[in-house]
Amino acid sequence: MFFQQFKVEGLGCLSYMIGCPLDGRAIVVDPKRDIDEYLQIARINKMKITGIIETHVHADHVSGAAELSYQTGAPIHLGAGSPVEYKYMPLNDGDEMVIGNARIRVLATPGHTPNSISLAITDLSRGDFVEMLLTGDLLFVGSIGRPDLAGGELLEEQIHNAYHSLNVKLADFPDYVEVYPAHGAGSLCGAGISAKPSSTLGFERKTNPFLKLDFDAFRAELTKTTPHRPINFTHIINTNIRGARLLKELPQISEYKPTTCKQFLNENRDRKLIDLREATAFGGAHIPGSLNIGLAPNSATWIGNVVEPESELLLLGNNRQEIDSAATMFRRVGYDQIKGCIIGLSSWILEAEETGFLPQITVHSLHHVINKYSNHLVLDVRNQQEWESGHIAGAEHLPLPELINQGFSRDLEQHISVICMSGYRSNIAASILKQRGYKNVYSVIGGMSTWKAAGYETVMD
């Protein structure tokens, strides 16, 4: 039996190929949107992709099922009753497929979504017993899938479903069975997911906090807080229900000159310019009104928190390779309207266009400033857990998603230093504040990790 896991860095998405080189066939489970890696691995191992399985309708990434089906002719399989608008082959509880030495049995495991499935995998060359479970978004390493994405009216039913799937449906499998989820660390489909890409049922039964609870405690844990829902999740769900557009149908990303860039942005306020450069480069000079989302593995997560997914975008990067990398990442999370790009700032500056400036302040300078000026505001945009681990005395806490969604009200002349853990989110937040008219905004280089490394005091309250 052939088995391989694929990981999308930053998003924490995990997909799989299961097949048999002797038989010459393979299936792909929960594919990412850019599919070249699957095609290459199948070709190297002399297998043809003959099936695509989605464990559920995804909320955090655009599925590659349509793209892979178009390229290979393979049918798409989902749990029976899945609310999609395209043709698929339904999978019911107990259904089996055999591909050479690989046997795949379908388990109906609702909870994350009403029609979620898991897959029990047997390597027939080694025995007739289940060796591994692909648990989709039901069971993660160290956590479970959130049950709220199907809608508030279904939350109570989904909590019951999740508890039953975890504690009854999976109860038949012994401790040695390996667990391979659809997400790892970095995913927003669950909280507290381990960085380990796989586990065993036995280890999860001993250590996963959600598998130690009776139903009342389980329900209380899942309803006590509403997990953060990025602004692109609904768009992604609707895209996956309709079926994603093929990549060949998306706009070509042509290079824009300064005049064309200005015209494009001025025609529609909802259009966005995303600057992919690192924080210090953006701080030194940038196109006014642009948003700094530095190119990094988690860029796709952050654009999903700060930019409406229907927005028409321009990307600014140092070279074409950065533009193409960002486009791949952003399309994975539903940003299909990338209209063009700008390579560097040289042409903008040479044509004497105006540039913006976002001062980058060191932790040493910040320490001096807040000791000298009592009215200087430190705005901490980390999450609640990070804040509780220690923060600067007198700082105001406003997590970045709340800053985006709920706003921030101060005198526009207020001097503000924005801080996060490393300096990445603070530049996003500071560029947003600059867009909203705040004139005296600073971003703290290195963030709280550098503040603590420098030995400066933190408080916990």
Per-residue pLDDT of the chain (461 residues; tens, 9 = 90+): 999 999 998 888 999 999 999 999 999 999 999 999 999 999 999 999 999 999 999 999 999 999 999 999 999 999 999 999 999 999 999 999 999 999 999 999 999 999 999 999 999 999 999 999 999 999 999 999 988 877 777 889 999 999 999 999 999 999 999 999 999 887 777 678 888 999 999 999 999 999 999 999 999 998 886 677 889 999 999 999 999 999 999 999 999 999 999 999 999 888 999 999 999 999 999 999 899 999 999 899 999 988 999 999 999 999 999 999 999 999 999 999 999 999 999 999 999 999 999 999 999 999 999 999 989 999 999 988 899 999 999 999 999 988 988 888 899 999 999 999 999 999 999 999 998 999 999 999 999 999 999 999 999 87
Residues 41 and 189 in one domain: yes
Residues 81 and 211 in one domain: yes
Amino acid identity of residue 265, one-letter, is L
For residue 240, tell me if it sits in a domain.
no
For residue 242, tell me if it sits in a domain.
no
Residues 75 and 129 in one domain: yes
> What are 168's two structure tokens?
């009854």
The pTM for the full model equals 0.92
**CATH number of the domain that residue 430 is part of:** 3.40.250.10
Residues 146 and 279 in one domain: no
Exposed e or buried b per residue across 300-326, where buried means at least 16 C-beta atoms within 10 angstroms of its C-beta: bbbbbbbbebeebbbbbbeeeebbeeb
The last residue of a domain, from among 329, 350, 371: 350
Alpha carbon distance 176, 190 (integer Å): 24
For residues 246 and 67, is the Cβ–Cβ distance under 8 A? Answer: yes
For residue 310, tell me if it sits in a domain.
yes
The last residue of a domain, from among 322, 350, 378: 350
Residues 48 and 182 in one domain: yes
Exposed e or buried b per residue across 338-368, where buried means at least 16 C-beta atoms within 10 angstroms of its C-beta: bebbbbebebbeeeeeeebebebbebeebbe
The last residue of a domain, from among 286, 319, 350: 350
Residue 453 phi, psi dihedral angles, 5° rounding? -65, -30
Strands of the 440-444 sheet, one edge to the other: 360-361, 440-444, 415-419, 377-380, 396-397
Alpha carbon distance 28, 16 (integer Å): 6
Residues 433 and 317 in one domain: no
Residues 46 and 118 in one domain: yes
Q: Which domain holds residue 437?
A: 360-453
Residues 195 and 276 in one domain: no
For the chain, what is the domain count? Answer: 3
Residues annotated as catalytic (active site), given as ranges: 420
For residue 312, tell me if it sits in a domain.
yes
- Burial of 406: CB neighbours in 10 Å, binned 0-12, 13-18, 19+: exposed
